[in-house]
Structure 1
Amino acid sequence: MPSPTEITVPQLMRLVGTPDAPTLIDLRTDEDFAADPRLIPGAFRHRFAEVATLVPALRQRRAVVYCQKGRKISQGAAALLRIEGVACEVLEGGQIAWRDASAPMVAATALSAPDAEGRSLWVTRHRPKIDRIACPWLVRRFVDPRARFLFVPPEDVALVAERFGAVPFDIEGAGLTHAGERCSFDAVLDAFGLQSAPLERVATIVRGADTNRHDLAPEAAGLLALSLGLSRMYRDDLAQLEAGMTLYDALYRWARDATEEGHDWPAAAVRPS
């Protein structure tokens, strides 16, 4: 049984990919990280000896730290954060326990070089509809919660990517874009090794809506309708992205937890007692 200051792998797995996910901090030594250079989805690396520098950013957030085994480095760092008022837990068993549970992990080599504040930068065409909202959702929920997204005219995407060091996506010629019948969402899933049953369900729906293949999933037509509606509600692409985050949060929770549930009318009659 975990201590009151620990969180188990199954408990954390239920939070990863949702708006309630804690801030995840990988405190492994360089040697341990080199032995397995993968991160828990949404985590970022930080030197355990400098953990106190994170206090200002973490005071209003829930945090989970982990090292290789969840022992001395994690326990000491979490204790230091707690005395500074940070709600911090340790992942029971550390990165090894997460790995051994076959939980999803992100290859650190697939991550772009972050800025001075540790954030990745991405760029795509303006006026997003489906893929250009779905991909940012996937990145923010499973790769980099602080990722920033630039929406620019199509002819400027490549130049902006070069000048500002941003990752281009969902545009011809980019590494993360359509390939055959697969769309950019599929490419991002593959690039970061994020395959899981719920995300594959979401990917099929996104692919069906984005490529007009509604035969792939009955939900694809609904996603298209909602996406086009959002694009007409918002002139500001960033405001549309924030609204779209909620849409994809709901779609992911359905794909993970509610695919077997239906709804009908009238409700079952209440039997007399």
Structure 2
Amino acid sequence: MASYNEISVPTLARLIGTPDCPVLLDVRIDEDFDDDPRFIPGAFRHPFKDVLDLADELQTRSVIVYCQRGLKISQGVAAQLRASGVQAEVLEGGQFAWRDAKLPMVMTEKLPPLDTSGRTVWVTRHRPKIDRIACPWLIRRFIDPKAQILFVAASQVTNVAERFGATPFDIEDVYWSHRGETCTFDTMVEEFGIGHDALTKLAAIVRGADTNRHDLAPETAGLLAASLGLSRMFRNDLEQLEAGMLLYDAFYRWARDATNERHDWPAASAKG
């Protein structure tokens, strides 16, 4: 059982991929990171000796700190942050405990380079519908919560990518795109190594809606309808993305927690 100021692996696993996920701070030393250069989904790395540099920006956030085993480095960093007014906990057992639980981990060699603000930058075609909302949701919930998403004219995606150091996605002839009968969302789940049951269910729905394969899942038509409705409600692509984040949060929680739940009318009434 996790002790005071610690969080267990199962408890953290329930938070990953949700809007309530804390900031995940990887403070492993270089040797330990090189031994297993993967992140817990959504985590970012920072030198433990410089952690107080982050204190101001973390004041309003909950933080989970982890090193290799969750011992002296994690405990010390979390204590320093708490002394600076940050709500910080340690992951019980550290990265080893997460790894040994066989939970998804992000393949860091697939991560795009960070900009000067320490975030990944992605660019795609404007006026998104399905894949171009689903992918940013996946990136921000499982890869990089601070990721910047740029929407530009279709003819300028590659040019903007080159000039602004952004990573293009969901256009033809780039790495992060459709492959065969799968869509860009599938590509990201597979290449980042974050696949698990809920994302697999969600990926089938996204693929069906994005490629007009409504036979893949009954929920496909609903996602298509909601996505097209959002595209008519918003002229601003970033406002549409923010609304779409909530939509995909709901689909993810359904895929994770509610696939066996049914609803009917009239509701069962108590007798007597």
TM-score relative to the length of structure 2: 0.99
2:56 and 2:115 map into 1 onto residues whose CA distance is 19
In the TM superposition, residue 180 of structure 1 has moved relative to its aligned partner by 1.2
CA distance in 1, matches of 2:141, 2:50: 25
The within-5 A match list for 1:182-261 is 182-261=182-261
The equivalent residue for 2:29 is 29
- SS for the counterpart of 1:256 is helix
Provide the identity percentage. Answer: 64
Q: Which sits farther off after the overlay, 89-98 or 179-188?
A: 179-188
Q: Provide the rounded CA distance (Å) in 1 between the counterparts of 2:42 and 2:49.
A: 21
Q: Secondary structure at the match of 1:124?
A: strand
1:114 aligns with 2:114: yes
Partner SS state of residue 114, structure 2: coil
Secondary structure of the 2:162 match is helix
Write the distance in 1 (CA, Å) between the matches of 2:125 and 2:205.
Answer: 21
One-letter identity of the residue aligned with 1:195: G
Which residue matches 1:270? Answer: 270
Backbone CA RMSD of aligned residues:
0.5
Aligned to 2:92: 92
Question: Would you say 1:178 and 2:153 are equivalent positions?
Answer: no
Give the residue type in structure 1 aligned to 2:164.
F
- Give a deviation string over 1:34-74, Cα, whole Å, max 9, x none: 00000000000000000100101110000000000000000
Give 1:270 deviation, angstroms: 1.1
Q: How far 1:83 moved relative to its partner? A: 0.7
- DSSP 3-state at the match of 1:88: strand
In 2, Cα distance between equivalents of 1:70 and 1:20: 22
- How far residue 185 of structure 1 moved from its aligned partner, in angstroms, is 0.4
Q: Distance in 2 between matches of 1:229 and 1:221?
A: 12
What displacement does 1:265 show? 0.3
Q: Secondary structure at the match of 1:208?
A: helix
| Cα displacement string for residues 147-201 of structure 1 (whole angstroms, at most 9, x for unaligned residues) | 0000001110011111111110000011111111100100111120111000000
User: What secondary structure is seen at the aligned counterpart in 1 of 2:57?
Assistant: helix
> Which 5+ residue runs of structure 1 have no aligned equivalent?
none
CA distance in 2, matches of 1:115, 1:181: 33
Find the residue that maps to 1:58 and give its secondary structure.
coil
Deviation at 1:78, TM superposition (A): 0.2
SS at match of 2:56: helix
Partner Cα separation in structure 1 for residue 165 and residue 191 of structure 2: 18
Q: Which residue identity is paired with 2:271?
A: R
Q: Flag structure 2 segments of 5+ consecutive residues without an equivalent.
A: none
Q: Which amino acid aligns with 1:79?
A: A
- In structure 2, what is the Cα distance between the partners aligned to 1:150 and 1:3? 42
1:179 & 1:25 partners in 2: Cα distance? 33
Q: Distance in 2 between matches of 1:194 and 1:2?
A: 25
Structure 2 CA distance, aligned partners of 1:191 and 1:118? 21
Q: Could you list the per-position Cα deviations for residues 196-225 of structure 1 after superposition, in whole angstroms to 9, with x for gaps in the alignment?
A: 000000000000000010010010000000
How far apart, CA to CA, are the structure 1 residues paired with 2:164 and 2:189?
24
Q: Partners in 2 of 1:134 and 1:200 — Cα distance?
A: 13
State how far apart, in whole Å, the 2-side matches of 1:189 and 1:164 are: 25
Corresponding residue of 1:155:
155
- The residue that corresponds to 1:126 in the other structure is 126
Q: Distance in 1 between matches of 2:178 and 2:26?
A: 32
Structure 2 distance, partners of 1:106, 1:11, is 19
Please report how far the alpha carbon of residue 80 of structure 1 lies from its aligned counterpart in structure 2 after TM superposition.
0.3
What is the identity, as a one-letter code, of the residue corresponding to 1:36? D
